[in-house]
Structure 1
């Protein structure tokens, strides 16, 4: 087979593996990362479809570079400065403590001497930025407190690869007499050059290109900036990912940030997927087979030791139990830079034998593969978050209206009631919301509306109407059931969660229900029509027509199922304008028994 054909065949195998496995593993709840790994194992070691996994991995590492650039775009320099304690405090503690502990484990296992044990221990102390950040992104946890702390540790690990590579020179013995100061000066100079370029050159560059209106030139410029900064850092002895991250941070306050992110995202996604597949391709099944018992013990030992250390330092540094558990299960694996460290130690100086380096790489790869499963397992170790309790005596409680839940919906409704001269007793189970409301002069009682004793203390016996404005559907249903069972005299007005919830509440027999988004959506659509030139009277008539259709669909859906009344929905613009004919047809509909469908001759309705 010719080289071009082989290249295209391998590309098809990589893309096909991603297309097949990602949806399957996502559907199974195992995450796309594990799916890509499985695809790599099947394509490479099992079927031998691609032989040179290392070559694919070298190209696919650009996915990690693009990932760090996009992360940098989300972190303004001021935000990065706020994270400095986590980066250099938490991050350094994790690398040093994990490195020392795993060095001891490696030495006691007898796989290498004390020098090789140091290399193995600190190499295994590094975690996978690609795996961890991909999992955080899939779960939407990048900007959470635990996500930011995990990222801080990963960022320090990227910085730590420089001194760790220098450590190899020291461990090789006195024959290496090179002065490390010039290399350090070059690295510092490269970082300084990146900061200066990012501050004074990058934004003007994109301004010039944007004026030309050439979309492809903007994409090329974005790729040039990412790859150029990554190459500069690599030449200075730092990681390519670090260079891309710094360029992203420098552009975080640029007005072109969102456009850059949109341009880079497709490249990031596909290259990162190929990176995970390449890790699977590089897995040496023969090494695993020859050392299967050792690996069965080594992989969990490494992950447990590392996870316990991460959990401990997170707790000591102020993380909650749940956040510490999440971080500990997210970062126990080995990382991409472990591959670099072990390969370098094997190729130069002989600190590790080739077989030992292959064994360590297999351990790192398997630990990566187990990470998504570990993250899923972490949920079993989470504890219920402690809910802050406030002392409450319910002095002065009792009014015609008892409101359960002071959500944004309830706050607006309460304004109407208070403006109408009516007293409202409000109870809420959020201490923070009660404190915030008190700043505006509201008197809200702390209490759980799903408890009968709380409702009684809040004066439900005197209430004519109970207004339920809670956020969660299950809590709303619990309150409604409790009031209907024990206080049948009270009328119940409910904020529903969605359309299906509205139907369920009607079937329960509540006196009134309303979806939070209905009225605001109707008004928003009417105002948009008016802004497009439709007359105020016509826009109002259209709004009322849609309101009637919505109510009639609810009546049908309550008896015939959720798909009933689909013919009342508009999916195309109605012609001709103005909307006189649909309005007249709607009047015909209103004159009927309220359950029949609109006349068939109504135009432009699907």
Structure 2
């Protein structure tokens, strides 16, 4: 026991130290956790074990649950093209290509090659979705496509695991195995739907009525873990059950509070998951097979990125297709589980599986750097880019305190602008030009500092939090203007304003009918402005002024 505590203390200390150092140089925290795993495995001679991997897997479970909270059934239906069209195309095309690659490089039989090829077609749910969540790109066009394909990949794990069993059973038992799996899927969906529709809201109401934070968090943990084990009991992945549970809870009024309370558990377990990834790196295997690992790694990355780019390019802009392709080029964590199962079934030799494991882990290590620069890479193809949210970077503590610790003076009959990005800055400029009083709220320290340098009334704060809105004296404002480009964040801010109970006039811009549908039940005080219509009105207004000026000159 003392030895376990000793290892835990060293691991936690290394994780903190590595991430503090890496963050100063803009290196993602995921790499810090992986580096911690490498260091611990070398220091103590530890290798990843089943029990540790089992606990770490719940980092992905909690991540999928929070993704489910953000993408309700209504969202999922709006993304059905990405999930059920783009997803199958990506998995089957890349799986087929990687299967052929496996036959020629590893000289395995066709059955093993199919399993290996389709395992390589899977991408990293944990890394990609965490990064897209952190930088707010999950609601971008390419982010939705990536999410849709990742969701299908998670579903595709089920028939892939089933395929391993089929290849290892007698012919007479195959039909029985397929039938059992289909029945299990129907039963699971019916049970979760029944619980979500008839039980969940009532239970959450009783828990919230108890007015106990501990009971509330315990209930949510029970729901997440319970839905995961229910899915696993019927032969499906833990994360798929958690995602379905998240979507069901997303239909309730408690989704935002649940998401806020679960984030610490999710991030802690995800950190543990990435530490276990680092523990699987075997430098002896890499050194002895450096050429073939590099060859397989580069070939797989190129094949996946090229296939995804080519079929997405047909229906979307090249830049969006390239961003999605680069985001999904890596091989994911589910491949590691599948390779372990291949080893147990004796369907591939240890050397081949060690090489493949090294390929997967290295591709996962490279992914955060690729995702961090995916927009820069894609933007080189076009002159203009979409509106982007700046990622919060580490600053000196005294600079942070100078920007954060500011009391907002009392305002009345003013405008509250939520967001100081490109759109927010333009709104502030227009308000200043008309002599209107305003307060702008922004949770990006770089943008807050930029606003202060421009003498704008910009204050650091998260507009999702009710306390921040209260400090901005939103009760006394003329109107609140939501000026963020992230669809989910915009909805969260709108919900926070709605829940204040002040009937604040709120103006929200939306891009398409899918976004508009999120605000159908918000009430008469919420005004929706469609982007294209607003731009068209501005253009026509400017054109009419030109016409008037031209007539005056001719007169």
How far 1:385 moved relative to its partner? 4.1
Match of 1:21 among 4, 10, 18: 18
Question: Are the structure 2 counterparts of residues 528 and 148 from structure 1 closer, same or farther at C-alpha, using a change threshold of 3 Å?
Answer: closer
Distance 1:366-1:415 versus aligned 2 partners, 3 A rule: closer
Name the CA distance, whole Å, in 1 between partners of 2:238 and 2:476. 53
User: Aligned to 1:55, which of 51, 57, 60?
Assistant: 51
Query: How many Å separate the matches in 2 of 1:73 and 1:525?
Result: 28
Instruction: Give the corresponding residue for 1:138.
Output: 134
**Which residue of 2 is the match for residue 221 of structure 1?**
219
CA, structure 1 residues 211+361, in 2 after alignment: closer, same or farther (shift >3 Å)?
Answer: same
Is the alpha carbon distance of 1:5 and 1:384 closer, same or farther for their aligned partners in structure 2, counting shifts above 3 Å? Answer: same
Change (3 A) 1:367 1:499: closer
Q: Determine helix, strand or coil for the equivalent of 2:330.
A: coil
- Greater relative contact order (CA < 8 Å, ≥ 6 in sequence): 2
1:408 aligns with 2:424: no
Corresponding residue number in structure 2 for 1:99: 95
Unaligned runs of 5+ in 1: 389-404, 418-495, 503-514, 519-523, 532-606
Asked whether 1:43 is paired with 2:62, we answer no
Question: Judging changes above 3 Å, is the alpha-carbon distance between structure 1 residues 256 and 34 closer, same or farther for their aligned structure 2 residues?
Answer: same
Gaps of 5+ in 2: 387-423, 437-448, 460-469, 478-555
Question: Which residue of 5, 10, 33 maps to 1:8?
Answer: 5
Verify the 8 A CA contact 1:126 1:334 in the aligned structure 2.
yes
Match of 1:594 in 2: none
Equivalent residue, structure 1, for 2:340: 343
Matched, 1:116 2:116: no
1:444 maps to none
1:501 lines up with 2:499 in the alignment:
no
Mapped partners of 1:307, 1:261: distance in 2 = 32
Which residue matches 1:297?
Answer: 295
Match of 1:89 among 67, 85, 88: 85
- 1:528-567 equivalences under 5 Å are none
TM-score using structure 2 length = 0.70
What is the alpha-carbon distance in structure 1 between the residues aligned to residue 365 and residue 476 of structure 2? 56
What's 1:243 paired with?
241
CA distance in 2, matches of 1:86, 1:338: 22
Q: 1:360 aligns with which of 339, 356, 359?
A: 356
Secondary structure of 1:201 counterpart: helix
The equivalent residue for 2:162 is 166
The correspondence for 1:281, drawn from 279, 282, 286, is 279
Residue in 2 that maps onto 1:201: 199
**CA shift in 2, pair 1:35/1:189, >3 Å:** same
Deviation, structure 1 residue 297 = 1.1
Q: Which residue of structure 1 lines up, in the alignment, with residue 180 of structure 2?
A: 182
For 2:406, the equivalent position in structure 1 comes to none
Alpha carbons of 1:10 and 1:113: their partners in 2 closer, same or farther (altered >3 Å)? Answer: same
Q: What's the counterpart of residue 521 of structure 2? A: none
Query: Which of these residues, 370, 374, 378, is aligned with residue 370 of structure 2?
Result: 374
Cα distance change on mapping 1:216 and 1:327 into 2, 3 Å: same
Shift of 1:196: 1.3
**Mapped partners of 1:167, 1:26: distance in 2:** 42
Q: What SS class does the counterpart of residue 60 from structure 2 fall into? A: helix
Q: Residues 500 and 287 (structure 1 numbering): CA distance in 2 closer, same or farther, change over 3 Å?
A: same
Counterpart CA distance in 2 for 1:260 and 1:23 is: 29
Aligned residue for 1:259? 257
CA contact (8 A) 2:69 2:249 kept: yes
The counterpart of 1:233, out of the listed 231, 234, 242, is: 231
Q: Secondary structure at the match of 2:173?
A: coil
Structure 1 Cα separation of the partners of residues 274 and 472 of structure 2: 49
Over 3 Å counting, the alpha-carbon distance change for 1:410 and 1:371 in structure 2 is closer
- Return the offset for 1:286: 2.6
CA contact (8 A) 1:14 1:274 kept: no
CA distance in 2, matches of 1:43, 1:144: 37
Query: Are the equivalent residues in 1 in contact too, given 2:48–2:276 (CA < 8 A)?
Result: no
Which shows bigger deviation, 96-105 or 135-144? 135-144
Alignment CA distance shift 1:497-1:11 (3 Å)? closer
Structure 1 residue 415 displacement after superposition: 6.2
- CA deviation profile, 1:448-507 (whole Å, cap 9, x unmatched): xxxxxxxxxxxxxxxxxxxxxxxxxxxxxxxxxxxxxxxxxxxxxxxx9633234xxxxx
Give per-residue Cα distances to partners, 1:6-33, cap 9 Å, x unaligned.
Answer: 2222322332232112222222222111
CA contact (8 A) 2:323 2:378 kept: no
Of residues 134, 148, 154, the one that matches 1:152 is 148
Q: 8 Å contact 2:69–2:250 — kept in the other structure?
A: yes
Shift of 1:194: 0.8
1:197 CA drift (Å): 0.6
Q: CA deviation at 1:414?
A: 6.8
Alignment coverage as a number of residue pairs: 414
Corresponding residue of 1:76: 72
What's the Cα RMSD here? 2.7
Q: Which has the larger radius of gyration?
A: 1
Conserved 8 A contact 2:59-2:269: yes
Structure 1 residue 129 corresponds to structure 2 residue 125 = yes
Check whether the contact 1:128–1:331 (CA below 8 A) recurs between aligned residues.
yes
Shift of 1:164: 0.9
Shift of 1:353: 2.2
| Alpha-carbon separation, structure 1, partners of 2:32 and 2:383 | 32
